[in-house]
Structure 1
Amino acid sequence: MAETAILAALKVLGAALAEEVTSLASSKISKLRSIYPNLKLNMNNISTEFHVMQGFLNGIETEHPSNESQVAWIKEVQKLANDIEDIVAEFAYLIGNQKFGGISFYLKKRFKEPKLLIAINRIASEVHEAEQRLQYLARVKERWLPTIEIKNEKNSNFSNKYSHNVAVYAHLVDEDHLVGITEDREKLTKLLNFGEQQLSVVSVWGMGGVGKTTLVTNVFKRERKNFDRHAWVSISQSYTPETILRNIISEICRDEKGVTIDATNMDVLRLNTTLQNLLGEHKYLIVLDDMWDPKAFLDIRDTLVDNHRGSKIVITSRMAEVANLAPENKRLELKPFSETYSWSLFCRKAFNHEKNHACPPPLEEWARKIASKCGGLPLAIVSIGVMLSLFEKTESKWRQLFDQLSWQLDNNPSLDPLKNILMLSFKYLPKYLKNCFLYCCLFPEDFLLPRKKLLRLWIAEGFIEQKGRSTLEEVAEGYLMELVNRCMLQVATKNYFGRVKRCKMHDTLRELAISLCRKENFGLLHEDNKSENADGSTRRLSIINLRETVNHDVCLPKLRTFLSVDNDVPSSPLLSMIFDKSRYLTVLDLEGLPIEMVPNSIGDLFNLHYLGLRKTKVKSLPKSIKKLQNLQTLDLAYSQIQTLPDGIAELKKLRHLFAEVEVNPTYRSLRNRTGISLPKSMFYLKDLQTIQALESNSMVVRELGNLTQLRSFRIRNVKENHSVELCKSLSKMSFVSLLSINASDEEEILQLEGLNLPQLQKLALHGKLKETMLESPLFRISGNSIQSLWLSWSQLQNDPLSSLSHCRNLMLLTLKGAYEGQRLIFQEGWFPKLKRLDLDIMPNLIQVEMEQGTMASLEEIWLWELKKLVEVPKGIQHLVSLKWMICTDMPEFGGLSRGYHKLSHFTCVVR
């Protein structure tokens, strides 16, 4: 874990040593020239030492995780790296402050030069001291730490040991104790017995401990009799092709009478030839268990002869990338058990001596809570169940065990197999993903992590590296999908476009992550006053589910992140202290807190990258906000802030601005949200990617074209005479993918016929439209890329569907007050990808008709306040993919009362 602290330090060192900062430091103040060369040399030396140390740390943390001397040394390295990160961040701030206002600013403030020199001198001294500490730690390593062997095939590592243990356990599992695998066993058995003759690959994948090896072992034992030759091989993280081939040969020879081959000293060419001869014309089954890298299979693929006998290769893995070695129809993803199966397996293990494995009634409440904590993970259920079977069966003891479950997981040796198998997934994460994963445990249990917010937080923390021309947000999304595909995060919901919308952590993995956070000083959770108290070394603090004021007298000078989640605390000494004392703060998220003001001292948080005031009662920002030169995200949405101070334009690194104000929470009127007013100088912030939302005026629509990097943009209060200039400005935004435009009132016409945005994916137009608008390039040309379309209060007289049908990639269509006619007809072939259709507030609509072959992928229809629509849409039976029809405020609809009604192949909900 220390390598991640070093990575953070290297990032700030790299920034501080960049040409822009160094030239500024050596030229701005002449007296710095005598200080700076040594300062730069010391930082270079530290950077070099850290780069070398990273590789060393990767080796010892993987190979010898339990060596106490190494653990103590690593903690000292980590502490030093954190200190260096803070020192260099302050240096960059002091130098950057001189650049902040240009030469004229510098001349006006020259009387402060002695104070600056004192600060730079102090930093130079601290950097020099840090270099000496680093050199001392290097000497300590040579004196006290054992020599680390280079990884090789003979060096049995953590992965080999515990993968082997799981395989042994899986082969010994009694058939009677298998619960919940019947359906998956049938699927896998069918895949192995499928009638095709060519060699085929089948993959079974899922998170560690979900039962992949147990399932495949069970099927392997049953089905191997149907194959002439068979082999089971565990693939370690440190595999070599030669090892895999030797193990396959050995396994075949072990089960084959009269076949004896010693492959110990064979080179790779002889191994290939020998295995091919063994397989020959035989039908064979080979299991490659716990594969981490697709290359492990690709390296031996050509050796596995396709003799057209119906042979099968089964691969198990925690990685989607490995699972993809098999065709899509031959991939079996294992999910955690349902609550029913989880409880059944838990009772078998925890109450193995009870009649029928029945849970004693006094224990059921706590037993179910403990079983729920396992999150349906079979290995967790079995391990914790067996541990609990050894304890006395009293209510007080089991209540205590529930409260101690995290401690037991961390300290009870009987749970080491569970902990180590889960830890494998973390240990072999690339270093750039480790901090991203740990960060997710700073949120409450079962919390649904919003994708976009999580990505912005990772960027603010400095976890994301620039890659080519991709934005940091695009790189961060790639990191998220890597964690999902490695089964480290679970997808909770997807949007209609197939992208992850929210994800969550598995409870057991989260407990391990919390333990790591605590040990490595990554962060602390303060939840319901049960957690450890923060101290002066705490770098990240998450306050969760508190309803009473938190009284903390402790100072948090090293704090980098403060998150408030689901709290209802109006004020706190802790909060005041953070504004005043936590100078290195990078992330400050106070979403939902009923605070009413932000103190002027916020301007001293020079390192702040993320400021979240969403859903607070704050009415204005202090003028000192302009000093936050590193701010990337400013989230004021649904607060009470309607204007920003002029100094906001000084935030040169601002990427995302959220500032919508809620007017009507029901969305039943055109002006249900308003935006924020911006000063003219704000339109020269070249890094801005998001503005949600902005109030329109003549200056705004004229200057808007300067924001060429915008990806997501919402503008409110647009008047008809703004349209030409607005189209001209928007056409300069070649990257915009989300666009929302609100007219100022229901009589203002949005004349956007000149608009063409080739990258547009989500479009919302709220206001009156001319009929010709639907024939404009926005729908005829940009329509090929649009996936979500929202038209409201359009007041169209003619059926708009014919024109909109050119948007063939639409997945979500909402028509709200958009059409004043009586009939809507969805013709054959229209909207082939549409997943959801919303029809809302169309008072004249009396009939909706669906022809056969229309909306072939439609899953949901939402009907809202269609007062004259009294019949179920004609032809709805043709929508074979339809699952739900939701009807709201339609009392006469189809004669259906409130509640759920099964109609044909879908369910209708009337409310």
Structure 2
Amino acid sequence: MEATALSVGKSVLDGALGYAKSAVAEEAAHDERDDHEVLMTWVKQVHDVAYDAEDCLQDFGIHLHKPSWWCLPRTLRERRRIAKKMKELRARVEDRYLASMKHVVSNADLVHLVNMEDEDLRVISVWGTSGDFGLTSIINTAYENPDIQEKFSCRAWVRVHHPVNSNDFIQSLVKQFRVGVGISLLSLVEKTGQELDEEFIGYVNEKSYLVVLNGMSSFEEWKWIKVCFPNNRKGSRIIVCTPQPEVVSLCGGQESQVMELKKFSANQTIYAFYEKNPLEKKATNDFGWGSSRNKIALMGVDELIKEVASRLEGKRCLIVLDDLSSTAEWEQIRHSFPKLDNTSRIIVTTREQSIAKHCSKNQDNIYKLQVLKDKGALALFTKKVFKKAIDLEKQHPELIGEAKLILKKCSGLPLPIVAIGGFLSNQPKLAMEWRKLNGHISAELEMNPELEAIRTILSKSYDGLPYHLKSCFLYLSIFPEDHKIIRRRLMRRWAAEGYARDIRGKSAEEIADDYFMKLIDRSMILPSQASIHSRRGINSCQVHDLMREISISKSTEENLVFRLEDGCSLNSEGTVRHLAISSNWNGVRSEFEDIVNQSNIRSLTVFGKWRSFFISKKMRLLRVLDLEGTSGLCDHDLEHVGKLLHLKYLSLRSCNDIYYLPHSLGNLQQLETLDIKHTTIIELPKAIIRLRKLQYLRAAGYHDSYRAMEEDVTKLLQNRLCVLAAYLCAFCVACCAPQIVDDIWEADAEPIRRDICTACCCAVLPFVARRLDAHGVVVPSGVNNLGALHTLGTIHIGKGKAVLQDLRRLIRLRKLGVVGVNRGNSVEFCKTLSALRNLESLSVRSVGEPGLEGCLEFDGGSSSFSPPKNLSSLKLDGRLVKLPGWIEGLHNLVKLKLAKTKLTEVDATLGVLSKLQNLVILRLLVDSFEEAEDLCLIFHGDEPMFQKLTVLQLRGIHDLRSVEFKQGAMPVLELLLFREGIGSTSLCGLSSLPRLKELVLEGDYEGCSVDDLREELGRNTNKPVLKRV
């Protein structure tokens, strides 16, 4: 039975999943309008089968590894169930195949296609999965057909060599044409190249010909060859045979129809693509070469280059290459251009930033088109609506609010502003009409012909995406409008969904990161404000409002994402894979169960309030459960989470009312990401060590609302009387009725006695008793079993050395955060760091006295261990007094954060930091230096200092009198963030920072007048801007 399941599963995946993601499935949906809906329904059905097959195989994989002998009967029962399910899937695949035959031409025969009565030149592209023999046999049957031999006097079969040799290509065609018309081949040897070209032109202009081009491997080759064959309106035919599915439909034409020619087996089929409209040739008149068109068409590449050079010699040229789509295209074109005069110019337009950077090595020659500012956008909009420039705020104040909402959706892009303004110019100038447009912009884009240009342009950007990026982009429709999507969250979700997988030593997370940047390069998503936390400067993104409408439309069309929100359809069509519940949906359980088919949901994302019926045992295929920021979620709501055996991603981040994780969590053997940061969990359950596939574990770091209490609580815990009092208070609260805390609990959370007891017993009492740092969680012994972990933080290591010994074995760790370092465990801690050779990011925190002082010295009486050499990010939070000497040797360090370190040697510290040759981001936060009467930070420029530093943050340094930048200091600094501590601080030397773009003042600033700062920034040649936040 197991063998049957695996065999059927492999067949289903090879057939259904491969076909669903092939070019055939994509192109099949681009037929005539009459057939469009039918074809799209068929493609959806194929996708559904593929998804179900994938789910079924994963289900089988989970139950295959049930280890316990006592659960053997249940395991066998599950396996039989899955095997039966796979047989059903196989039947569905066959049904879909039979259904697909309704969408292809009947009597599918290549002879019939070739013999169709039509005077125009037709191109028929043939592609299949059965190998060269299958393709050749199909085409040869038609080629040797007596009726076809009689109809076409000139026939030729040519194998396309790579690269194409124009002379050999023409000679082969002429030789076979001569045989067809009965001319001797002997005289062919004596002919010159020009005579051969003229003879070929005579054949293709005067005769009805049939040409088979075998082995076409790229669309570029076809573009070179097709101009050799003019439309002589004699019913000529070209058969293009190619093994590349990407090429076949392009050669057949943009509006190709597909038919099945022959089926060899379940996964070996031959298809033909043929265009429904006559093949149109574009005249080459751009340089006045129309008269010599055929001659140019027959030239080789070298001859064409010489011809272009002779035509452009001595002329000033302006050449525009529009919509370049790859660097390979540029390289091919660039080498073909002659050496132009210095006054000539080539303008390249592209949608991708990476291509622009490749085309011009000089960054000054790269221009990114900027969107219109608010004022300019409003002016353009009102001019289009009223057909003249007016002051909308004065003349039509009732329209200004709706106008701003419309312009927000346009995001400063001229095209949608002009299109929407032109449409509204013919509508009543009423706020109600504009409000309707705002409320139904998606439907208007879909149905309104006056706005079709917007959808066409935006859809072109989407259509140009590779298949894998299309899925990633459509996935973004899960998030609400204007939602700031955190980069790390998105990447981990993509990996869990299978959109990004490990490839040749590159992790799924790295692949997802590449996808993220490619979507930004293509302007499909917009980077949020530059972040000081990310090395690339981007840690979040947003989706352009109109692009989001495209994303929603496409994802709904493909049944990929269903957004449960106020005003949504009460009937979801088809199977929903990803469910997003918006904060404005206030339905009840019965509505939820009627609208949503829970059995096939792969991801559940909740925004806003939690309801207990949002999750159920029916969601057995759930891979992603993202409850980040959900209000009202309590511990008892997670009791059944251990039954979601497919779960790979679980986020409870910022769920303040979660105090512990259920022990059933250990059942989630597929879990890769667990994010419980900013919850109230202080200890992880023992079951956590069973999660062998866990890669990413983020915990602790309590919510911002508790930060003000931290210092006071720490001091109170040093008094035993206060500890006992805290015990007593916690016990009283736990025993009292929930009504006591009802006023302070969120109204929709429905607190019960168990939740209150849990809060006291699992959080308050242990926290008080152990005197823990709330920034870290306690992990159980045996955490070394989590061998796949690459991110772990923040954990408490202050209550024993066993956890450090476990950490030492997590050799894949790249990111680690710890609290509780003290002099008692400092030697073991340093040994642990020394063993983690792959560590790239380290965060260390210690509260109070003596803090980190003397705890980070790697000598420890022994020279057998040293700090990780690959560290690129380091955060030190706690009393340090003096910077450890080994920091100077971290040559790969990119980011450094110091907080509460109380450093006393200011100049020495800056001297060490300035020698970190790869340091890009430096954050000196509250109490990073010891308070002193004459505390000054002077960044000297006598010697090379901070040569790569682009971001500097100075925040809350008490008694800091001045910050001065000397000439030559920080030559590439772009962003300076400053917030005063206790006392006023003056900023000097801002004009000496040649690359400074922005100065951000946080909070109140009293050091000197803001006007003085603006004046000094005005003397900076780079003209940086000043912002107040």
TMscore range, shorter length: 0.7 to 0.9
Listed one character per residue, the Cα deviations across residues 441-466 of structure 1 (whole Å, up to 9, x for unaligned) are 22122222211111111111110032
Q: Which amino acid aligns with 2:12?
A: I
Q: CA RMSD in A?
A: 3.6
| One-letter amino acid of the structure 1 residue matched with residue 346 of structure 2 | I
Separation in 2, partners of 1:465, 1:602: 25
1:619 matched residue in structure 2: 659
Are the counterparts in 2 of residues 762 and 787 from structure 1 also a CA contact under 8 Å?
yes
Query: Aligned partner of 2:838: which letter?
Result: F
**1:397 Cα deviation after fit:** 2.7
Tell me if structure 2 keeps the 8 A contact 1:662–1:673.
yes
Q: 1:112 aligns with which of 67, 74, 81?
A: 74
Match for residue 888 of structure 2 among 763, 780, 783: 780
Q: CA deviation at 1:740?
A: 0.5
Query: Is 1:82 the equivalent of 2:33?
Result: no
The within-5 A match list for 1:716-731 is 716-731=819-834
Cα deviation for residue 602 of structure 1 reads: 1.5
Q: For 1:648, give the aligned amino acid.
A: I
1:817 to 2:927 alignment:
yes
Q: Residue 333 in 1 paired to residue 373 in 2? A: no
CA contact (8 A) 1:374 1:381 kept: yes
Give 2:300's aligned residue.
268
SS at match of 2:808: helix
Structure 1 residue 684 corresponds to structure 2 residue 785: yes
CA distance in 1 between counterparts of 2:50 and 2:109 reads 27
1:78-98 deviation per Cα after TM superposition (whole angstroms, max 9, x unaligned) = 334334433553443344335
Structure 1 residue 99: Cα displacement: 1.9
CA shift at 1:136, angstroms?
2.3
| d(CA) in 2 for partners of 1:836, 1:288 | 37
Identical pairs, percent: 25
| Distance in structure 2 (CA, Å) of the matches to 1:666 and 1:242 | 73
Per-residue deviation, 1:901: 5.8
Distance in 2 between residues matched to 1:295 and 1:752, nearest whole Å: 51
Task: State yes or no: 1:378 paired with 2:411.
Answer: no
Q: Give the C-alpha shift of residue 469 in structure 1.
A: 1.1
How far apart are the structure 2 equivalents of 1:434 and 1:47?
21
SS in 1 for 2:541: strand
Question: 1:856 aligned to 2:971?
Answer: yes
Tell me, what secondary structure is at the counterpart of 2:868? coil
Query: Does 1:47 find its partner at 2:13?
Result: yes
Per the alignment, residue 692 of structure 2 pairs with 652
Deviations 1:142-188 (A, max 9, x none): 466999999xx99899xxxxxxxxxxxxxxxxxxxxxxxxxxxxxxx
What is the deviation of 1:731?
2.0
Give the secondary-structure state (helix, strand or coil) at the position aligned to 2:375.
helix
Q: Indicate which of 267, 274, 279 corresponds to 2:312.
A: 279
Residue identity opposite 1:427 in structure 2: D
Query: What is the CA–CA distance in structure 1 between the aligned matches of 2:779 and 2:411, rounded to whole Å?
Result: 47
Cα offset for 1:633?
Answer: 1.0
Stretch moving more, 668-677 or 601-610: 668-677
Q: 2:510 aligns with which of 466, 469, 474?
A: 474
* Structure 1 residues 707 and 315: CA distance shift in structure 2, 3 A: same
Q: How much has 1:758 moved relative to structure 2? A: 2.1
Q: Is the 8 A contact 2:49 2:89 kept in 1?
A: no
Label 1:557 to 1:315 Cα distance change in 2 as closer, same or farther (>3 A): same
**1:399 match:** 435
Alpha-carbon offset, residue 833 of structure 1: 2.9
- Does the residue aligned with 2:347 lie in a helix, a strand or coil? strand
Partner of 1:752: 856
Question: CA 1:254 to 1:413, structure 2 compared with 1: closer, same or farther past 3 Å?
Answer: farther
Displacement, 1:431?
0.8
**2:392–2:400: 8 Å Cα contact kept in structure 1?**
no
Distance of 2:450 and 2:881 partners within structure 1: 72
- Give the letter aligned to residue 968 of structure 2: G
Alignment partners' CA distance in 2, 1:238 and 1:419: 32
- CA distance in structure 2 between the aligned counterparts of 1:353 and 1:740, rounded to whole angstroms: 60
How far apart in 1 are the matches of 2:389 and 2:810?
70
- My pick for the range that moved more, 512-521 or 282-291, is 282-291
Cα deviation, residue 357, structure 1: 9.5
Aligned twin of 1:713: 816
- Are the aligned partners of 2:680 and 2:700 in contact in 1 as well (CA < 8 Å)? no
TM-score (norm 2): 0.69
Q: Contact 1:541–1:559 (CA<8 Å) still a contact in 2?
A: yes
How much has 1:347 moved relative to structure 2? 2.2
The CA distance in 2 between the partners of 1:910 and 1:492, in whole Å, is 18
Any residues of structure 2 matched to 1:653-672 within 5 Å, and which? 653-662=693-702, 664-665=706-707
TM-score w.r.t. structure 1 length? 0.78
Which residue of structure 1 aligns with residue 999 of structure 2? 884
Structure 2 Cα separation of the partners of residues 145 and 537 of structure 1: 34
Determine the C-alpha separation between the residues in 1 that align with 2:107 and 2:658: 54
Tell me how far apart the structure 2 counterparts of residues 465 and 147 of structure 1 sit (CA, whole Å): 41
- The letter of the residue matching 1:274 is E
Letter in 1 for 2:809: N
Partner letter of residue 809 of structure 1? N
**AA in 2 matched with 1:825:** I
Cross-structure match for 2:356: 323
1:817-856 alignment runs, 5 A limit? 817-820=927-930, 821=932, 822-823=934-935, 824-828=937-941, 829-840=944-955, 842-843=957-958, 845-846=960-961, 848-856=963-971
The answer (yes or no) to whether the contact 2:9–2:57 under 8 Å persists in 1 is no
Q: Which amino acid aligns with 2:649?
A: Y
Letter in 1 for 2:929: Y
| Residue number in structure 2 paired with 1:222 | none
Letter in 1 for 2:879: K
CA deviations 1:45-76 (Å, max 9, x no partner) are 22332466357645753882554535424433
CA distance in 1, matches of 2:579, 2:347: 45
Work out the CA distance in 2 between the residues paired with 1:238 and 1:334: 33
CA contact 1:294–1:322 (8 Å) conserved in 2: yes
Moved more, 397-406 or 54-63: 54-63
How many matched pairs?
777
CA distance in 2, matches of 1:323, 1:561: 37
- For residues 585 and 82 of structure 2, what CA distance do their matches in structure 1 show? 43
Cross-structure match for 1:872? 986
Deviates further, 492-501 or 516-525: 492-501
CA positional deviation for 1:865: 5.4
Using the TM superposition, give the Cα deviation of residue 316 of structure 1 relative to its aligned residue in structure 2, in angstroms. 1.5
> Which has the larger Rg?
2
Q: Is the 8 A contact 1:767 1:794 kept in 2?
A: yes
Alignment of 1:129-168 (within 5 A): 129-142=91-104
Q: CA deviation at 1:845?
A: 4.7
Secondary structure of the residue aligned to 2:820 is: strand
Structure 2 CA distance for aligned equivalents of residues 88 and 475 of structure 1: 21
2:285 alignment partner, SS class = helix
Task: Give, in angstroms, the shift of residue 797 of structure 1.
Answer: 2.9
If asked which structure has higher relative contact order (CA below 8 Å, sep 6+), I would say: 1
Q: Does structure 1 conserve the Cα–Cα contact (< 8 Å) formed by 2:46 and 2:93?
A: no
For 1:42 and 1:464, locate their aligned partners in 2 and report how far apart those are by CA, in whole Å. 26
Q: Give the SS at the match of 1:500.
A: coil
- 1:674 matched to which residue of 2? 775
After TM superposition, give the deviation of residue 478 of structure 1 in Å: 0.6
| Deviation per residue, 1:750-805 (Å, 9 max, x gap) | 5222242222121111223363x5322xx1221x2212212233233322222222
CA contact (8 A) 2:2 2:79 kept: no
Q: Which residue does 2:377 correspond to in 1?
A: 342
- Provide the residue aligned with 2:1016 in structure 1: 904
Q: 1:483 is aligned with what amino acid?
A: L
Task: Give the Cα–Cα distance (whole angstroms) in 2 for the partners of residues 338 and 695 of structure 1.
Answer: 49
Indicate the residue corresponding to 1:435 in structure 2. 471
Unpaired segments ≥5 residues, structure 1: 1-34, 158-235
- Residues 515, 55 of structure 1: CA spacing in aligned structure 2 closer, same or farther, 3 A cutoff? closer
* 1:521 Cα deviation after fit: 0.3
User: Do the aligned residues in 2 keep the contact of 1:281 with 1:309 (CA within 8 Å)?
Assistant: no
The corresponding residue for 2:622 is 585
The 1-side partners of 2:109 and 2:639 are apart by 54
Shift of 1:403: 1.8
1:608 paired to 2:647: yes
Task: Tell me the equivalent position of 1:422.
Answer: 458
Moved more, 812-821 or 246-255: 246-255
Q: Distance in 2 between matches of 1:854 and 1:108?
A: 71
Instruction: Check whether the contact 1:654–1:688 (CA below 8 A) recurs between aligned residues.
Output: yes
1:3 corresponding residue in structure 2: none
Structure 2 unaligned spans of 5+: 115-120, 126-218, 229-280, 715-771, 859-865, 1019-1024
> Which residue number corresponds to residue 556 of structure 1?
598
